[in-house]
Amino acid sequence: MKANKKLGQNFLIDEKVLEKINALFSVEKEDMILEIGSGMGALTKYLVKKGCPVVAYEIDRRMQPYLDKLPNLKVYYQDFLGCDLSSVLNSHALYVVANIPYYITTPIIEHVLKYIIPDKMILLVQREVAERFCATPNSRNYGYFTVYLRHYFNIMKAFDVSPTAFLPIPKVNSAVVILEKKKDIENVLEKQFFEFVKQAFGQKRKILKNNLKEYWPIIAPILEEKGYSLNVRAEELSYEMFLVLYFAVFGNNIS
């Protein structure tokens, strides 16, 4: 089948890679697997054998003959970004598996998190995106979205995937990244916290003092106490340090 360039399709065809992805997690029969972008079912055929319900979203109707023949599978042939997950999810552990088109990686993750924090997300993404997810402070890939993900997940890169594992062969390298839900997620007003972090990263070339001017009288002494220069930039601060500054500015009485 010819890939649809408009949908960013690159079909994963390497069985060894598919088996490695499938081996990254195990489930209980009450759990649920959510697969985003099933294609012709190359990975789906492994997922349905795990013994728990599998729900898949696939926007390309040409895939229906391949997917409809698989057992233990409910497929929604629609755009995942327009779906309402509230009627789909059960109350048990959720595992999200996806070979995500590179241009909509961030929107897909944000859409899932609007409804639920999955117990684990196993994502096949562009390697540069995986490096951004796993980045540490003071590295060029570290930014707002890294901190956003760190709020919910422990993140690790599982392995790289060669372009030759796909058809058609993409012009970029890929990697599988694992996002595992934290046991203890900090109790913050999330919209407020993320807006604060986004503002800190607002203009990357500017120092933190210029991006967070209104909070600087509170922030400056804390930074000095923690050993930071007052010319520090947002990309030098860890997720934990952003929490310290956030609670100092807004307080920690979360209701």
Would you say residue 213 has pLDDT above 70?
A: yes
Model pLDDT for residues 7-39, shown as the tens digit of each residue = 778 899 999 999 999 999 999 999 999 999 999
Domain 5-181 class?
Answer: alpha beta
Using a 10 angstrom Cβ sphere, with 0-12 exposed, 13-18 middle and 19 or more buried, the burial of residue 244 is middle
Report the C-alpha gap between 194 and 246 in whole angstroms: 10
Question: How crowded is residue 87: how many other Cβ atoms within 10 Å of its Cβ?
Answer: 6
Domain parsing of the chain, residue ranges:
5-181, 190-250
| Model pLDDT, residue 4 | 78
Would you say residue 109 has pLDDT above 90?
A: yes
Is the distance from CB of 57 to CB of 125 less than 8 angstroms?
Answer: no
Model pLDDT for residues 156-181, shown as the tens digit of each residue = 999 999 999 999 999 999 999 999 99
The mean pLDDT of the chain is 94
The β-bridge partners of 236 are: none
Reported pTM: 0.93
Check whether domain 190-250 has CATH 1.10.260.40, yes or no? no
